[in-house]
Structure 1
């Protein structure tokens, strides 16, 4: 069912963190003449700018803004993987650790302008896309991501900017409401270049409170999930082969040097070599001990018999321990992996806020 309600900015003009006013928004077939590279020439006498706030290279035409928003905020790979994301994560848009909790877990905050890495974590780091200035601007939301109550032609979100879904911007903003929940989170966000340094806690609290009320049915599919583990996304790409993925093996190529792969494979290779060497040595000991020397009441030098028997028993123990170690190394990760798959499979049809809202 189409949404017949007007789409309004999710925050008030007084709480906006960017106060730049916009000049007239051009139609898709219009262009902005630029006579000089000086951005000051693109600011009118009343202070209105003829470019996207924070992005002087993007003109205020719906076509240009639409293309820019798609490149900066859309996540086509995750959208294609949506029906399979239960395989790699818990379906909850609130499953996002705040920045100070990321630090507690030993993860560093890595700013990235790549939207498909936003809220993706790997080992000891979490990738977060910095907050674009235009999303803090009330006039931007009014001009490009909202419809007026008397606009009868714009009944759906796609009527605003055909190339871009407003729900993606709402989901991105809601993710920041979970990332920055406390004063220390704001400090970490400014130190990590995620938010402008001039924003104080009172301003941020008043602004972001509007986005904490947004439900799953108001955001894009990607933001029905929170933070995602990169290693699991790699397996999702390998298994389900989304057409938007850059490669068939990785969601994001982790290393660009073969030396790192070799370095990380040395320890497992050495462990395997040592284990097999130990097994082979134990087998040699077994073969070297004659069968008649293993009887409890053998004939001959009792000390030698007992020594051989002890070596034989020790070799058996070494073989058993080596086998147990390899079994645990294989069974424990496989068991955890299968448990996660079964958990996701059992909960894949669990009703969510999105399905309730859509109903």
Structure 2
């Protein structure tokens, strides 16, 4: 009789998911420039955000170095508004460096990767090439193990190939200290050719840039439109970004008003021209008895009186709001500093008390010398 006992077959062990292959450096070891053999990292960097502070870098600590790289190539502010970047720029490579000078643009160096290739008026911000991006061993040790670091660093490296394709661009880059001063033209050509063997920066699509940060799908970005996106995008919209935009470049309230209300001068000139034309029209016989023209002149006259007052009121209101937000932020930072460093407030108070007491003592001594001087005696003379 056949046994009815069902035999259970042992299930095979679960197959582990395939590990993601570690990306290689974007250039060969042989193409590494001599000047980048031993890249020098700074001793510290400024941590950006709501709390700005100085962070030291320990070159012997892998975590400390990678935290610095993450801050140095960070473009997260642009990534969070990526689907709106078409408003600020085109999905194409940037102009070369000599073309930027032909456009009469001034090259301003910046240490922020999220300001790299951002332009405003006749200024374009360019980040100097970090030496570690030219070092093959540095890529293998610190950048390639992290997918996000590799994508951001690779995109930043590609942007320099857009900027510096010719010898004229290379010379300008050396003059503006965008490239290391000891880098030679032939070394840069060899390095660029090695990168181009893996990437084709002339094509900007997801096939060629699938391992590159999405920010570098766009070349140059316009600063005022980035600020517009930051002010009204649902991801970044809040009172602070509404006032400051993407990059706050105002040293005082006067410059803030000048840059944001220059259009009011043009409007005032136009209103003046229209009012003058209406006066001429009312003096002509053809329009003296035209009721519609009289109504239009009356309406525009009232508008020309009310509109400047409204603009002035709006400007004052905006300045008050900006001042209130800045004041609130300063007070909050002061409270945070007092909580984290309470001895600072005590030291300041003690120093203020000492200065007040010394000031009173000096004032008494000066008064005593003045009284003795009036009597013709020296206050230090002993009777």
Task: Tell me the TM-score normalised to structure 2 length.
Answer: 0.59
Which of 175, 185, 188 matches 1:191? 175
Helix, strand or coil: the match of 2:195? coil
Q: How many corresponding residue pairs?
A: 255
Alignment partner, residue 342 of structure 2: none
Alignment partner, residue 68 of structure 2: 68
Shift of 1:271: 3.4
Relative to structure 1, the CA distance from residue 248 to residue 70 in structure 2 (aligned partners, 3 Å threshold; closer, same or farther) is farther
Relative to structure 1, the CA distance from residue 170 to residue 266 in structure 2 (aligned partners, 3 Å threshold; closer, same or farther) is closer
Gaps of 5+ in 1: 22-48, 147-159, 290-306, 324-359
Structure with more of its chain in helix, by fraction: 2
Alignment partner, residue 162 of structure 2: 178
Q: Which has the higher contact order (CA 8 A, sep 6+)?
A: 1
1:221-260 to structure 2, matched below 5 A, reads 221-243=214-236, 247-249=241-243, 250-260=245-255
| Cα offsets for 1:179-230 (capped at 9, x unmatched) | 0011110111111111111111110011022333422112011111111011
Quote the RMSD (CA, aligned, Å): 3.2
Alignment partner, residue 7 of structure 1: 23
Distance in 2, matches of 1:232 and 1:248, equals 13
Distance in 2, matches of 1:66 and 1:259, equals 41
| Cα offsets for 1:123-169 (capped at 9, x unmatched) | 101101111111111110121233xxxxxxxxxxxxx248x521100
Gaps of 5+ in 2: 1-16, 44-56, 200-207, 301-383
Shift of 1:283: 4.3
Which of 14, 26, 32 matches 1:16? 32
Shift of 1:81: 0.7
Which region of structure 1 is more displaced relative to structure 2, 59-68 or 173-182? 59-68
Alignment partner, residue 141 of structure 2: 143
Shift of 1:85: 1.5
Alignment partner, residue 116 of structure 1: 114
Task: Tell me the TM-score normalised to structure 1 length.
Answer: 0.62
Alignment partner, residue 131 of structure 2: 133
